[in-house]
Amino acid sequence: MLEWSQIIQSLPMLLAGLWSTLQMSAVGLAIGFVIAVGVCGLRLSPRAVLRRLGGAYITIFRGVPLLIQLLFLYNVLPRLGLGVTPVVAAIAGLSLCCGAYIAEILRGGFLTLPKGQAESALMLGLSHRALLLRIQIPQVVRLTSPALVNEVILLIKASSLISVVGISELTRTAQNLAASTFLQLEFYLAAAALYCVLNVSLALLGSWLEIRLRRSGA
Amino acid sequence: MSASRANDAIIEARGMGKRFGDNTVLADIDLRVHRSEVVCLIGPSGSGKSTLLRCLAFLERYDEGEVELEGELLGFERGRQGQRVAASNRRVRQVRRNVGMVFQQFNLWPHMTVLANVTEALKRVKRLSRTDADNRGRAMLDKVGLADKAAAYPAQLSGGQQQRVAIARALAMEPHIMLFDEPTSALDPELVGEVLQVMKQLAAEGMTMVVVTHEMGFAAQVADTVVFLDQGKVVARGSPSEVFRHAESPRLQQFLQNYLERNAFWDTLEESTTHA
């Protein structure tokens, strides 16, 4: 039988872990999105040098496992004289990595936009900036919203890896509780359930947003 | 054109050439378009007529010669020694500010309503207030017969209606020149008429127009000048009657013959009805 009383007793700790997971993921995502817009811009640049620079970024941060990136940030950088706190290492790892994935998602969206839409905008005198902000980005966000929601969920699950730099997020909290009480089944089930509830909620929020976006236009 | 109008060319291309790699797509193009003149560019596919039009808008960079719009050099500036240097994006925008363009694929923005499509540049480029932009936008939609579609999205309209919105969107900016790149080629045949009707009305109002088209009836009826291109060169030009009735070039004769044959079923149809 499951030890429900133990789970309920430890619920505040588990929820604190969940909150930490959420915070880290949210900040990582926000910074990652800014990185992604920049890298996507590089990848779509007419200049070959900039395209290669963007390509190199993607190669590194999409190619190396997040776990290695985190260990590198936390353990190797201090040896090079760049001491980083666990929180900084965790957020840097998450944002650098999801920035690479989101950049590619956005690039895919830009490539599906017909070239003619930009030509008509430029012929009407719109600046490149207005073209991007008013014509292209709104459509790209719509087109890529399913893939972006997917990426957010992947990010939240990947955030379990930041436990290796000493952040007490949900996974680390469950691990500690399981070890101290010997109730492995209970606490890993509880953690699994909390991740699942969070991600299902996000998926529902995503489909609701998608329907709203569809309603307002093509 | 009479000699008195020789100097009021609103578009002037001199010795313009364009290459894609080793492939010369336009060679030595001279073209003058006068205020209120309607010029139709015709020719087989691949003859360079669309590329020529796109060079006049600097959507394609031309490699040789010069294009002037209302006396201003398009796409380039003259350097200190008189050499050609590429102009900035801002300068290009400035020189073509009075050019409106209509595309084969309409190129409306699908995430915006019809009215928002028409008013976007009014607000962002002409800096009109929302109310003024909406008023002018509605007037333009009314002009193309689509006042009732202001709140619709492009995907909810027929191709002919979308193209009329695209025309309204270009006209809202009060252009001096309208360029049309095969405006009816993507349309179902029964929708072609409504778009040509709007274009005829524009021509009648004195708009300067350059039209790349396969609609020979439109060219014959509306054009002041018809220019026939083949393999990147101007092979014949003149009034519609000169080009269509007195074609001298064998290439032009062959091109027109194809059209006659395609429409020949009308004659057989008429014969059978008269005999009935």
Nearest to A155 by CA among A88, A68, A212, A93: A93
**ipTM surpassing 0.85, yes or no?**
yes
d(CA B111, CA A136): 10
Chain B closest-CA separation from residue A123 CA (Å): 7
Give the minimum alpha-carbon distance from A127 to chain B in angstroms, rounded to a whole number: 8
Q: How close B172 gets to chain A, by Cα (Å)?
A: 10
For B210-246, give the DSSP string: EEE-S-HHHHHHH-SEEEEEETTEEEEEE-HHHHHHS
Q: Which two tokens stand for residue B121?
A: 């540049």
Would you write out chain A's pLDDT as a tens digit for each of its 218 residues?
Answer: 678 888 888 899 999 999 999 999 999 999 999 999 999 999 998 899 999 999 999 999 999 999 999 999 998 888 888 878 999 999 999 999 999 999 999 999 999 999 999 999 999 999 988 998 999 989 998 899 999 999 999 999 999 999 999 899 999 999 999 999 999 899 999 999 999 999 999 999 999 988 887 766 54
CB-CB under 8 Å, B93 with A134 = no
Yes or no, beta carbons of B155 and A120 under 8 Å apart: no
Q: Which of A164, A167, A155, A168 is nearest to A195 (CA)?
A: A155
Contact B153 A217 (CB under 8 A): yes
Distance, in Å, from the CA atom of A82 to the CA atom of A75, rounded to the nearest integer, reads 10
Strand partners, B210: B39, B179
Residue with tokens 């893939």: A147
